[in-house]
């Protein structure tokens, strides 16, 4: 098993944290993991992306040019990374704000309305957890939910642990956004 994933969007959307929870969940499931962010003065508003690799074996490069799954949360990110989805791979994008789609028939393109789902939860900060739920559902490798919960626990500072049930619900809602 190896999943090579990039999550890209605006700084402030919780892209890095989402990647961290994914990586920690993988670690809790005994996988090798790397989490490689684009870093710099782009914490609010600029573009941010994170490459997460989950694998049974030792991981070579933390930096990639082709991905099994691309998660694009704004148009720039989609434009930048949609051509780098491996043939047979998956592109997940948020329908709010993304209107131009790539013309590729060799990959699976999954639209999700994560923004709308977040409004339904009534907690705007849960946005990235909704997206994470959709990503977890789209992955070939099925991460057991108990390990995702452990990943949440490890990633969030203790003062935010009371938010874990809310995050868990948001992930569940995200899972259900995928067409069955």
Partner 1 sequence: MKEEVMLMKGNEAVAHAAIRYGCDGYFGYPITPQSEVLETLESLMPWETTGMVVLQAESEVAAINMVYGGASTGKAVMTSSSSPGISLKQEGISYMAGAMLPALILNVMRGGPGLGTIQPSQADYFQATKGGGHGDYHLIVLAPASVQEMVDFVALGFDLSFKYRTPAMILADGIVGQMMEKVVLPPFRPRRTAEEIRKQCPWATTGRFGHRKRNVITSLELEPSKMEEVNHRLQECYREIEKSEPRWEEINTADAEYLLIAFGSIARICAKAMEIAREKGIKVGLLRPITLWPFPKEGVRKGAEGKKGILCVELNAGQMIEDIRLAIHDSIPVEHYGRLGGIIPSPTEVVEALEKKIIEK
Beta carbon of residue 61, minimum distance to partner 1 (angstroms, whole number): 3
Smaller CB separation from partner 1, 49 or 118: 49
| Per CB under 8 A, 24 contacts partner 1 | yes
Beta carbon of residue 155, minimum distance to partner 1 (angstroms, whole number): 8
Question: Residues 44 to 73: which contact partner 1 by CB under 8 A?
Answer: 59-66
> For the chain, how many helices (H) and strands (E)?
6, 6
Site for partner 1 (CB under 8 A): which residue of 6, 18, 23, 148? 23
Smaller CB separation from partner 1, 57 or 106: 57
CB atoms within 10 A of CB 179: 6
Identify the residue whose tokens are 């409004």: 119
Structure tokens, 24 = 């920690």
Smaller CB separation from partner 1, 120 or 161: 161
Q: Which stretch binds partner 1 (CB under 8 A): 22-30, 85-93, 102-110, 132-140?
A: 22-30
Site string for partner 1, 123-162 (x = CB under 8 A): -------------------------------x--------
What b/e sequence results for 119-144 when a residue is b if at least 16 CB atoms lie within 10 Å of its CB, and e otherwise?
eebebeebbbbbbbbbbbbbbeeebe
- Compute the distance between CA of residue 125 and CA of residue 33 in angstroms, rounded to an integer: 25
Q: What share of the chain is helix, strand, coil (3-state, %, to 5)?
A: 40, 25, 35
Structure tokens, 156 = 């969030």
Beta carbon of residue 90, minimum distance to partner 1 (angstroms, whole number): 20
Structure tokens, 152 = 């949440």
Beta carbon of residue 37, minimum distance to partner 1 (angstroms, whole number): 6
Residues near partner 1 (CB under 8 A): 20, 23-24, 27, 32-37, 39-41, 59-66, 154
């Amino acid at each position: 098993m190896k999943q090579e994933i990039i999550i890209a969007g605006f700084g402030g959307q919780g892209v890095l944290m989402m990647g961290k929870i994914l990586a920690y969940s993988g670690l809790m499931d005994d996988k090798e993991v790397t989490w490689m962010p684009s870093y710099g003065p782009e914490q609010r508003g600029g573009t941010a992306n994170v490459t997460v690799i989950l694998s049974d074996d030792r991981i070579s490069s933390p930096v990639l040019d082709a991905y099994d799954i691309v998660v694009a949360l704004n148009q720039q990110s989609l434009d930048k990374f949609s051509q780098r989805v491996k043939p047979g791979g998956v592109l997940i994008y948020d329908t709010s704000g993304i209107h131009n789609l790539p013309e590729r028939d060799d990959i699976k393109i999954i639209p999700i309305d994560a923004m709308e789902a977040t409004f339904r939860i009534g907690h705007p900060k849960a946005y990235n957890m909704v997206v994470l739920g959709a990503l977890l559902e789209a992955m070939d490798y099925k991460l057991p939910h108990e390990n995702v919960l452990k990943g949440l626990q490890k990633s969030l500072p203790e003062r935010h642990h009371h938010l874990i049930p809310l995050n868990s619900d948001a992930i569940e809602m995200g899972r259900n956004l995928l067409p069955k």
